[in-house]
Structure 1
Amino acid sequence: MITATKGFIAYKLSDYYVQPPSLVYDKIYEKSNEKMPIVFILSPGADPQSDVAKLGEIMGFTGTKFKFVSLGQGMGGVAQQAIETGYQRGHWVMLQNCHLLASWLRTLEKILEQMHKPHKDFRLWLTTMPTSSFPMGILQRSLKVVTEPPEGLKLNIKQSYAKISDADLDGCDHQGFRPLMYVLAFFHAIVQDRRKFGRIGWNVAYDFNESDFKVSARLLNLYLQKSYDKGDALPWETLRYLIGEAMYGGRVTDNYDRRVLTTYLEEYMGDFLFDENVKFFFSRSGYDYDCLLSGNAAAYQGGILGLPINQSPSVFGLHPNAEINYFMLSAKEVYSGLMSMQTGTGGDSGGMSRDDLIEKTATDIQKNIPADELKFLKDTVPTPLEVVLMQEIERFESLVKKMVQNILDLKRAIKGEIGMSQALDELGTAMFNGQLPSAWVKNAPETQKPLGSWMEHFLRRYKQYDDWAKIGDPDVFWLSGFHIPESLLSALVQASCRRRGWALDKSTLYTRVTKIFDRKDVKTKMLDGTYVDGMYLEGARWDVEAGDWLMFLLVLLCFFWSFHCSFFLFFVVVVAAVVVVGVLALVVVVVVVVVGAVCCQSNMFSFRSGVSRRIGSSPFIEFGRLRSETN
Structure 2
Amino acid sequence: LVSQWKEIYDSGRPHEEQFPGRWSSLVGMERMVVLRCFRPDKLVPAVQHYRDSSCCSPLVFILSSGSDPTAGLLKFADDLGMGGGRTQTISLGQGQGPIAARMIETALRDGTWVVLQNCHLATSWMPTLEKICEETITPENTHPDFRLWLTSYPSDRFPVSILQNGVKMTNEPPKGLRANLLRSYLSDPISDPAFFTGSSQQEAWQKLLFGLCFFHALVQERRTFGPLGWNIPYEFNESDLRISMRQIQMFLDEYEEIPLEALTYLTGECNYGGRVTDDKDRRLLISLLSTFYCQELIQQHQYRVCEGGDTYYIPPHGPYESYVEYIRSLPITAEPGVYGLHSNADITKDNQETNQLLDGVLLTLPRQTGGGAKSPQEVVDELAEDIMVKLPCDFDLETVMIKYPVMYQESMNTVLRQELIRFNRLTQVVRSSLVNIRKALKGQVVMSAELEDVFNSMLVGKVPALWAAKSYPSLKPLGSYISDLLARLHFLQEWIDNGPPVVFWLSGFYFTQSFLTGVSQNFARKYTIPIDYISFQYQVMGARPEDGAYVRGLFLEGARWDRERGVLAESLPKILFDPLPIIWLQPAQSSASQQHSVYQCPVYKTSARRGTLSTTGHSTNYILTIHLPSDQPHKHWINRGVACLCQLNH
TM-score band by shorter chain is 0.5 to 0.7
2:177 paired residue number: 153
Query: Retained in 2: the 8 A contact 1:511–1:623?
Result: yes
1:218 paired residue number: 246
Closer, same or farther: CA 247–165 of 1 in aligned 2, 3 Å:
closer
Question: What SS is found at the alignment partner of 2:370?
Answer: coil
2:188 paired residue number: 164
1:99 paired residue number: none
> Which amino acid in structure 1 is aligned with residue 288 of structure 2?
Y
Aligned pair 1:21/2:65, yes or no? yes
Match of 1:500 among 523, 527, 533: 527
Match of 2:401 among 372, 377, 402: 377
Distance 1:529 1:547 in 2: 21
Query: Retained in 1: the 8 A contact 2:551–2:585?
Result: yes
Q: 1:325: how far off?
A: 2.8
Match of 1:240 among 250, 259, 264: 264
Match of 2:340 among 305, 317, 320: 317
Distance 1:7 1:299 in 2: 38
2:422 paired residue number: 395
Query: Retained in 1: the 8 A contact 2:415–2:514?
Result: yes
Show CA shifts across 1:177-202 (max 9, x none): 56644432221121233244455445
Q: 1:491: how far off?
A: 0.8
Query: Retained in 2: the 8 A contact 1:212–1:247?
Result: yes
Q: 1:420: how far off?
A: 3.4
Aligned pair 1:416/2:455, yes or no? no
Match of 1:353 among 360, 368, 375: 375
Match of 1:540 among 559, 564, 575: 559
Match of 2:48 among 2, 6, 9: 9
Query: Retained in 1: the 8 A contact 2:394–2:424?
Result: no
Distance 1:233 1:443 in 2: 58
Closer, same or farther: CA 380–362 of 1 in aligned 2, 3 Å:
closer
The TM-score, its normalising length taken from structure 1, stands at 0.59
More deviation in 283-292 or 394-403? 283-292
Superposed counterparts of 1:87-236, under 5 Å: 152-157=176-181, 160=184, 164=188, 170-171=194-195, 173-174=198-199, 175=202, 177=205, 180-197=208-225, 200-202=228-230, 208-226=236-254, 232=256, 234-236=258-260
Q: CA RMSD in A?
A: 4.1
Closer, same or farther: CA 496–262 of 1 in aligned 2, 3 Å:
closer
Distance 2:563 2:367 in 1: 49
More deviation in 428-437 or 153-162? 153-162
Q: 1:494: how far off?
A: 0.5
More deviation in 454-463 or 313-322? 313-322
Query: Retained in 2: the 8 A contact 1:477–1:533?
Result: yes
Distance 1:302 1:428 in 2: 57
> Which amino acid in structure 1 is aligned with residue 392 of structure 2?
P
> Which amino acid in structure 1 is aligned with residue 466 of structure 2?
A
The TM-score, its normalising length taken from structure 2, stands at 0.57
Q: 1:311: how far off?
A: 2.1
Closer, same or farther: CA 446–310 of 1 in aligned 2, 3 Å:
farther
Question: What SS is found at the alignment partner of 1:499?
Answer: helix
Q: How many residue pairs align between the two structures?
A: 433
Query: Retained in 2: the 8 A contact 1:502–1:630?
Result: no
Closer, same or farther: CA 544–625 of 1 in aligned 2, 3 Å:
farther
Closer, same or farther: CA 445–308 of 1 in aligned 2, 3 Å:
farther
1:552 paired residue number: 571
Closer, same or farther: CA 433–301 of 1 in aligned 2, 3 Å:
farther
List runs of 5+ in structure 1 lacking aligned partners. 24-147, 515-521, 556-610
1:456 paired residue number: 483
Distance 2:63 2:184 in 1: 15
Structure with greater helix share of residues: 1
Q: 1:253: how far off?
A: 6.6
Distance 2:230 2:571 in 1: 18
Distance 2:173 2:283 in 1: 24
Distance 2:557 2:217 in 1: 24
Query: Retained in 1: the 8 A contact 2:41–2:347?
Result: no
Question: What SS is found at the alignment partner of 1:440?
Answer: helix
Question: What SS is found at the alignment partner of 1:377?
Answer: helix
Distance 1:180 1:618 in 2: 41
Query: Retained in 2: the 8 A contact 1:244–1:261?
Result: yes
Query: Retained in 1: the 8 A contact 2:433–2:451?
Result: yes
Aligned pair 1:621/2:649, yes or no? no
Query: Retained in 1: the 8 A contact 2:208–2:298?
Result: no
Aligned pair 1:330/2:342, yes or no? no
Aligned pair 1:279/2:302, yes or no? yes
More deviation in 442-451 or 620-629? 620-629
Distance 1:411 1:446 in 2: 26
Distance 2:208 2:561 in 1: 41
Distance 1:302 1:356 in 2: 63
Distance 2:235 2:349 in 1: 18
Query: How many percent identity over aligned positions?
Result: 32
2:549 paired residue number: 530
Closer, same or farther: CA 366–483 of 1 in aligned 2, 3 Å:
same
Distance 2:193 2:445 in 1: 67
1:426 paired residue number: 453
Distance 2:41 2:62 in 1: 11
Q: 1:344: how far off?
A: 3.8
More deviation in 256-265 or 390-399? 256-265
Superposed counterparts of 1:515-526, under 5 Å: 522=542, 524-526=543-545
Distance 1:481 1:198 in 2: 25
Closer, same or farther: CA 215–481 of 1 in aligned 2, 3 Å:
same
Superposed counterparts of 1:4-83, under 5 Å: 5-6=44-45, 9=48, 21=65
Query: Retained in 2: the 8 A contact 1:10–1:18?
Result: no
Q: 1:450: how far off?
A: 1.7
Q: 1:396: how far off?
A: 0.9
Question: What SS is found at the alignment partner of 2:555?
Answer: coil
Distance 2:311 2:366 in 1: 47
